[in-house]
Every structure is written in C-alpha cells, then in structure tokens.
Structure 1
C-alpha cells in the first residue's frame, strides 16, 4: 500500500478509536510475521503521541537504513486498513459485496466456477437490496463470462435472463451517471456564478439543465434514480431562487430516503445533506416554524444513530449542519434576546470545530457576528469577524464583502468615524475591482456616507427608497436575508 505523504499515516492513526486500536492489536497478533514487531512498535509509538521525526525512532525500530522506515510506514498503513475492513465489514454492504466478488474470483481461478456462481448469486441479492448498481453490473458481467466459457447446465432462459438483466442495469447506470453528472454541474455552476440573475443567464441555465436531464423521472426508476432526480431539480430551482419548487424537491428527496430506513442508516450522509438543503430553503423563506420542525427531525434521527468512528464523515457533516441550523434558528426567532455569555459559548464551540472546510467555519463566525450585532454586542461581533477578515485563502466574494460591511457598521456604531470613512472608500474600490454584480453593498456604503455626514434621516430615506425594488426582486432575497441593515442595531 503506497502512501503519498507520511502525514496520511499520522492522520489515519489519529482517527482510530480505542476499540479499533484494540482490534488492530489482536489482528496483528493473529497475523504475526517477521516484520510485524517493527510495524507494531511504530504503531504504538505514533498512537501514544510520538512522531516520525523523533530521534530515538531508529533505535526503537532497529532500522538498518533510511528507506526501511518508509517501507514500515507503508506496511503499517496497509495493515491498519485491512484491520478496519475486517472490523467494519458487517456495517457496510458495499464491502460485503466486494468481498464476495473477490471470493468468486478466487474460486473461478481454481476451476470451481459452479461454486463461484453460487457466491455471485448471493452477492447479487445483497447488491440489489441496497441499490449497489455498479456492483450489480459487475456481478452480472462475471456471471455472463462464466456462462459463455463453461458448461454450467443452465437453461437457455437463464442466459436470456442474464442478457435482459444486464441491459436493465446498464440503463440504470446510464441514468444515475447522467444525473450525478448534472448534479455536480449545477452545483459547480452555483459555486462559480452564484444564482441566476438575468433573463440571458436563465436561458443558458435552462439549456445546461436539459442537455443532461429530461423530466420527469419515470415511475419505474430505482431508489437512487429517484433521489438523484430530486437532487438535480432542487439545484435547478435553487440556482434560480425558485424556493417553493426547491422546497418540494428537498422534501421528496428526504421522504424517499426515510421510507427505506436500512438505506438511510447505511448512507446517512445522503439523508443529512437533504435535510441540510431543506433547512437552507426554510431559512431563506424566513419560515421559522418549518425550520424548527426540520431541525427537530434531524436531531431526532441523529440521536438514535449508532455512531462509529468508521462513520466519521457523517459525524462531521452532522455537526456542521446542526450548528448552522442552530444559528439560523436563533436568527429567525428572537435574535435580540441572546445573552453575551450565550454568544461567547457559541464562539468557543465554533473555534473547536475540526475536520471541515475552513470556509464553512468562517460562515459560522459571520452568522455569529450578525447575531452579536442584533444583540447590541458590537465589539464582540468585531472579534468574531476577525477570522473571516484575516483569512488568507481565497474566499467567496459575497462572504468577504458582507463581513467588511458588517465590520464598518460596527465601527460606525462604536464611534470610530475615521476608520469608517477610510473603510467605505476602500470597500467601494474593491467592489469595482471585482465587478460585484449586486447594487446592495453600494447602497449600504452610500447609507454609511450619509450617516457620517450626520444626515441620518435623509440617508435612511434614500436607502429605503433604493432598496425597495431589490426587496421585490427574488434574486436579491439571499443577500437581504444574510445582511438586513434595517434590523441592525
């Protein structure tokens, strides 16, 4: 097992819980070899907090040369993965099916092709039950290979059935691949361009969507085809801020998964992501009750989910989704009733978030800063905006722009007029340089200029008049939801 970086071994060992470490120890003892003592000593050294740079490591492992350590690392990495596969295979039908296919290959290579067919039949049942379409297609292809090369005493109906089944799986795979490609294409379009905002963009977006996909998903579609179909249609409507339609498809997405509890348990991420989209739509619609109901349902599901370290992705995703939903619920309910201690506690929890993309953590800091301003805690808001404003990696323009606008508002309310005067001009130049499409940030800057000139009544009246058309335009709904100046204190 080759590994690209030594950090990968450190990260893998750090991800193990105590039961997995005990299982690895037993697995090593059962499969002891001449080199097992060295790689197990390295495992104990690293799991107890040691590093690969420790000067005493060469003596501990009795190394004969610098390349031997690299070989031991590679071997240890592979042994840990073998142990994890053995320990968690009963929880993952995909691993079980692949294991059965491997056994069938071994039997076939020994000339026991009838034995292989029996194992493949069991594996195919499992693949069909859990909608493992690719595995299913591989099994059918293997069965066809055996039937075409050997005398198996099968009837001609068996061969016809295999041909028909193969054609059906091919159609299903073609459909799921096409829809998963479309889902990624629509998601990438949103990341790169944001929401559709002009008739021309809408026409291009319509053409992009229908190049890959035709509505509706047929009634005979498989579980995965139906879920992917609703995913695609969610992104199609969400990118155009057609939130009522997006709401319908996120509900269908999660309802289909809820109807198959065994599949929901197997791939919790699929369900959590759907609930996250439902929460997002409810927040943008300003529907506090619907958001609260969805939030409670997700909490209920996660409280009864048997967590294991093997499901680390699900745990990390659930943590960030619940955290964002908690902040959004506070923003939807009574945002001006949070105590300073409560806000600081949330800040500590955000700082402790690990294992997620940095951008997601910074969005949490921004939402907390907005919540602080709504509660009159402007200095505290500036503290939580600092990680966003000091981030050196590339951020989405909208997050940076609205973080800077909120910073200027806080400084204005704190009486730091010189800073605000400089910051307004600096941000105006930045908006021009990046070609920011929405006029909303510029209107906020004009409001701040008027407030600096002590023309508050006139400035607010002009701002209200110019913002009114934006409030009627659905394409400005998202930014008004994330920074509503009328609510700021």
Structure 2
C-alpha cells in the first residue's frame, strides 16, 4: 500500500465511489443543521486531497490540532453509518442483525408478541443460512422474552428453545474447534513456510491429529464441513502433499456447488476455495481441468447474481489473472502471456489499496518469468528488480527465486557487468534466510562457477546441475522450491539443446485431446 495513504480516514474517503459520496452528503444534510457541520467540511477537504495533509486542514481553520482527532473519529463513524444504509452494501448478515435490533427495540418497549414474531422468522432464516452465531443470539433473546411473557404454550416453547439451544451449542463447538485448527495451520504456513524436514512434518501432524481425531465428517453441517476441508487443504499444503491438497480443495469447491445458495452467503470462501483448486491444478500441469475450472469459476463470479463489492472484486482479480497466467505457463505461451501484462498492471493500480504487497510481488515475478520465456531478458530483469526493491514484507523464498531468475536472465542476455557482485549479494541473502537449505546454496554455487567457464565446460556444468535438480525434485521437501521459477526446465533445455518452451510443453501431464 502506498506510504502516503496510512491515515485510515483518508483511505476510507478515497475508496468511496461517486454514488457513495453523493449518498453520504444526502445522509448528513437530511437535517438542515448539518450543512455547515465541521465534519462535512473536513470530508470535502479530504476528498479534494491527493495526499493526506493535516497542516492544510488546520491552516484552513476547519479544526484545531487538539480537536482534529475527535472530528476525524466522528466523520469516520458517519461515513460507516451512511455506507451501512447503502443498498450495495446490504447482505443477509446485516439484514439479520437489523431484524435482531428491531426485536430488541420492540422488547424494550414491552411489545413482546411483536418481538417474538420477528425473532422466530429471523431465526428460521439464520438457521437456513447456517448462521449459528446469530441464531444463538436470537434464541437467547427469545428465552429472555418467554421468561417474562407468559403464554399457554410456554411448556412446548421451553422444550423447543432448549433443544435448539443445545443443538446450536454442539455445532458451535465443532465450528470453533475446526476454525481454530484451520487458522493455526494457516498461521504456520505464513510464519514458517512449508515443512522442510521430518521434524517439521511430525509437528504439523501432531497439531492436526490432536484436533481432528474425534470429528466425524458425516455429522457436520455446511459451515463445519467448510472448515474441515480448509483445515485439510492447509495441512496438506504445509506437508507438500499435493495429491491430498487437490482432493480437499476440490471437495471445498464442490461443497458450494452442492449448496449453491451458500455461494451468495459465503462468496469469499467460494473464491478462496477456487483459488487453491486452480493453483494445485497448475502445479499438476492438468491443463484440461484447469481451463474448465477457471471457466466455471468465471461463469459464477461474473454472473449478475454474484455479490459485488470492492473486496470481492480484488479477490476475483487475483484468482482470475493468476490462473490465466498459469495456463499460459503450462502451455509455454510466453509471448501471448506477455500481452496480459499491461491489462494486469492497470487493474493492479486501481486495486492498490485493496491488495497486500505480497500478491503484487507474485504478479511481478510471473510477469518477469513470462518475459524471460519470451526472451525479453532486460524487461524480465526490470520486473524482477521491482520485487527486490520493494519495501514490503516479502517472503524469503520469493526473493531468492527472483534473484535466481535475474541470474538466468543475465546469463542469457550476456549482461554480466555486475554479475559477480550480484552473486555475492545473493549468497549473503541466502545466509540470512530463516531456513536456507541445500537447494539455495547449490544454485548459487552453480551460477557462481558458470560465468567463468569456457563453452564446453559450461555444457558439463549444466549436465551436473541437472542431475542435482533431479535429486531435489525427487525429495518431497524440495519440491516446492522448483515451482517458483522453472530453473530445472531451463537447465534441461541447455542439456538437450532445445528451446525451454519445448521442455515446458513436454511436462504437461494431461494434454488436451484433439
């Protein structure tokens, strides 16, 4: 995210659409007294700014320095209230909570029958949508009201509420247990990365099995199954067991297809499930299934019925274009793939405030790799350097493989002015990595020696390194390293004296039948 946009209120105002700004002004001006309200003046001034400037606000006497913090907090709240009323931001959760609020108001006025009628209807909707937390809150209020409003059916109602409350409590225990496990596994992946040895593998298995052993899939409802599949996807990703990652990612997506009404209820998790499924199909080189799955995904998310908001648009963008570029990689269509770069960069700029830096860097690496495959080596280095020069928190493995791609491009282009210096800096970088391994140091050693060899000796060096990479690819803990940049395919192309595109096409496991 751009440095100049750290102020939360400024970022929120800049995220508003023209219609949202218009609605906000109508909302605050609904009473004439707000026309000259200071918070509205602050809104107008910040809306004009290209960069947040607190001194300008004070100089224009919109607020004193002492009052500005409170004024900004009030404006922030008013914008959120206005957005909550906007139909484009209405969803079933907000609507359910609104009905619960209405029931609370009626209860406080002593209108018990009216409150119970709203609660009963809202509870049925919440249960149908598998929103157990809201349903639990509704039942709690029903209990309070029933204990004060005596009816002839209180005995039957009491039994019904007790049964519903107990069932939801049981289901919530499963949900909490599975969601905690999923979050812990996801945290492990982000913090420590994929397992690199038997000790790490055992740690993940112990964590997983301790939580999952008493849970039967057949007894779970939609939300619990969703968390169950998520936990399995993240566990198998950590263990680099891609066969099972594919299995559970497919079941994750299929769960939504079996319950299509839940796609509208949980659009983020529908997109995320497809993200993992499309990524693992790319790693398998399954072009037929990858293209079909992307087509099905696009048909759903670009339909009129699919929810639309800024968050979903950014997630759809990431999933769609990552998969599209991966398809070009599998087919070896580098020249065609480079044509996507201007389009992707334009969308990246529009969504800059909605997407974290890491995802941007992934795109830059794919662009650099696509340009390398198109033999545009200087442009490949240019995009690679964007990653190395990033001030964001970029994963160590991503940075290392970017450096490897730069070395490949320097070798191919013959641009070796700072080759030795770059090797030295890459070696220092590897030594500072959290968990550097043999692959990292063998790769550095290969490139270090390569530039000093005569032509026939270089061929021999490629052949020796090819055998080492074969050994790495056979080791389950090194597999992941070879997915970032296809250094093995590049080395094989040198050994076999063919274009790297031919090597890549030969790796596709499931080719389209003609």
Conserved 8 A contact 1:100-1:123: yes
Residues 1:269 and 2:268 are matched in the alignment: yes
Conserved 8 A contact 2:321-2:344: no
Counterpart-to-counterpart distance in 1, 2:206 and 2:413:
50
User: How is 1:204-223 mapped onto 2 (pairs within 5 angstroms)?
Assistant: 204-214=203-213, 217-223=216-222
Counterpart-to-counterpart distance in 1, 2:104 and 2:206:
45
Q: For residue 28 of structure 2, what is the aligned residue in structure 1?
A: 28
Q: Which consecutive residues of structure 1, in runs of 5 or more, have no partner in the other structure?
A: none
Judging changes above 3 Å, is the alpha-carbon distance between structure 1 residues 80 and 341 closer, same or farther for their aligned structure 2 residues? closer
Q: For residue 145 of structure 1, what is the aligned residue in structure 2?
A: 144
User: How is 1:427-466 mapped onto 2 (pairs within 5 angstroms)?
Assistant: 427-434=426-433, 436-452=435-451, 453-454=453-454, 455-466=457-468
Conserved 8 A contact 2:130-2:223: yes
Across the aligned residues of Structure 1 and Structure 2, the Cα RMSD in angstroms comes to: 2.7
Task: Find 2:316's aligned residue among 311, 314, 318.
Answer: 318
Judging changes above 3 Å, is the alpha-carbon distance between structure 1 residues 192 and 399 closer, same or farther for their aligned structure 2 residues? same
Q: For residue 18 of structure 1, what is the aligned residue in structure 2?
A: 18
Counterpart-to-counterpart distance in 2, 1:30 and 1:435:
57
Counterpart-to-counterpart distance in 2, 1:471 and 1:6:
43
Q: For residue 238 of structure 2, what is the aligned residue in structure 1?
A: 239
Q: For residue 424 of structure 1, what is the aligned residue in structure 2?
A: 423
Q: For residue 338 of structure 1, what is the aligned residue in structure 2?
A: 336
Judging changes above 3 Å, is the alpha-carbon distance between structure 1 residues 435 and 207 closer, same or farther for their aligned structure 2 residues? same
Alignment deviations for residues 286-338 of structure 1 (CA, whole Å, 9 cap, x no partner): 222222111112222222146777x2111111112222112211111124443
User: How is 1:196-211 mapped onto 2 (pairs within 5 angstroms)?
Assistant: 196-211=195-210
Alignment deviations for residues 418-458 of structure 1 (CA, whole Å, 9 cap, x no partner): 52233324323432343644322323223323422222122
Q: For residue 504 of structure 2, what is the aligned residue in structure 1?
A: none
Q: For residue 43 of structure 2, what is the aligned residue in structure 1?
A: 43
Counterpart-to-counterpart distance in 1, 2:461 and 2:294:
39
Conserved 8 A contact 2:28-2:34: no
Counterpart-to-counterpart distance in 2, 1:57 and 1:429:
48
Judging changes above 3 Å, is the alpha-carbon distance between structure 1 residues 449 and 28 closer, same or farther for their aligned structure 2 residues? closer
Q: Which has the higher contact order (CA 8 A, sep 6+)?
A: 2
Q: For residue 103 of structure 2, what is the aligned residue in structure 1?
A: 104
Judging changes above 3 Å, is the alpha-carbon distance between structure 1 residues 102 and 431 closer, same or farther for their aligned structure 2 residues? same
User: How is 1:118-133 mapped onto 2 (pairs within 5 angstroms)?
Assistant: 118-133=117-132
Q: For residue 86 of structure 1, what is the aligned residue in structure 2?
A: 85
Counterpart-to-counterpart distance in 1, 2:263 and 2:338:
39
Conserved 8 A contact 2:42-2:57: no
Counterpart-to-counterpart distance in 1, 2:336 and 2:159:
68
Counterpart-to-counterpart distance in 1, 2:16 and 2:236:
41
Alignment deviations for residues 234-280 of structure 1 (CA, whole Å, 9 cap, x no partner): 11222112212211211111111233333212331110000000011
Counterpart-to-counterpart distance in 1, 2:88 and 2:127:
18
Counterpart-to-counterpart distance in 1, 2:360 and 2:409:
21
Counterpart-to-counterpart distance in 2, 1:201 and 1:70:
47
Counterpart-to-counterpart distance in 1, 2:344 and 2:178:
39
Counterpart-to-counterpart distance in 1, 2:355 and 2:136:
34
Shift of 1:186: 0.6
Using the size of structure 1 for normalisation, the TM-score is: 0.90
Q: Which consecutive residues of structure 2, in runs of 5 or more, have no partner in the other structure?
A: 491-499, 501-514
Q: For residue 9 of structure 2, what is the aligned residue in structure 1?
A: 9
Residues 1:414 and 2:413 are matched in the alignment: yes
Residues 1:478 and 2:476 are matched in the alignment: no
Judging changes above 3 Å, is the alpha-carbon distance between structure 1 residues 112 and 302 closer, same or farther for their aligned structure 2 residues? same
Residues 1:165 and 2:164 are matched in the alignment: yes
Q: For residue 496 of structure 2, what is the aligned residue in structure 1?
A: none
Counterpart-to-counterpart distance in 2, 1:402 and 1:387:
13
Conserved 8 A contact 1:114-1:152: no
Q: For residue 193 of structure 2, what is the aligned residue in structure 1?
A: 194
| 3-state DSSP of counterpart to 1:391 | coil
